Amino acid sequence: MKRMHVHVGVTDLDRSIAFYSTLFGAEPSVTKPDYAKWMLEDPRVNFAISAGNHAATGIEHLGIQVEDGDELVEVYGRLRAADRPVLEEGATTCCYAKSEKSWIADPDGVVWEAFLTEGEATVYGDSPALSALSDNARPDACCAPQIAPAPKPACC
């Protein structure tokens, strides 16, 4: 079963952990000095926050987390069918997790990832620029690899 992923950049991690723990009625399942994550069942969401160099404030990116390889193949097929540039990142370490992932940006520049988490990591991971996918993203945020942005259409 797939799970929605939301990653939000915050300015004060401790204050935000207190807020979201109250909002969700649950403590984070992962807490690091610069990151926290809730794996909620109701609603079924992987909700993460990070502070410092990892994220701008606000919605950093969205995603679809899958539970197995077959679901990942299905979602990757949807990414390719969306008729937008897809970056097939493959195996990576990001947000204290080892994952297999690909990235896409919607027509308005909202960045999405599709991923299968394969284990925990002791480091946050590489933080190349999401701005490579979208002008809406902070240049030094987690976790998309750098690629050339899609050409912009000529304006009116």
Q: Show Cβ contacts of residue 85 under 8 Å, excluding neighbours closer than 6 positions.
A: 104, 105, 147, 150
- Give per-residue pLDDT as tens, 141-154: 555 444 344 444 45
Q: How far apart are the first and last CA of the chain?
A: 43
| Other CB atoms within 10 A of residue 57 CB | 12
**pLDDT (tens digit, 9 = 90+) per residue, 93-122?**
777 778 888 888 888 788 888 888 887 877
Q: Does the predicted model carry a pTM greater than 0.85?
A: no
Q: What share of the chain is helix, strand, coil (3-state, %, to 5)?
A: 20, 40, 40
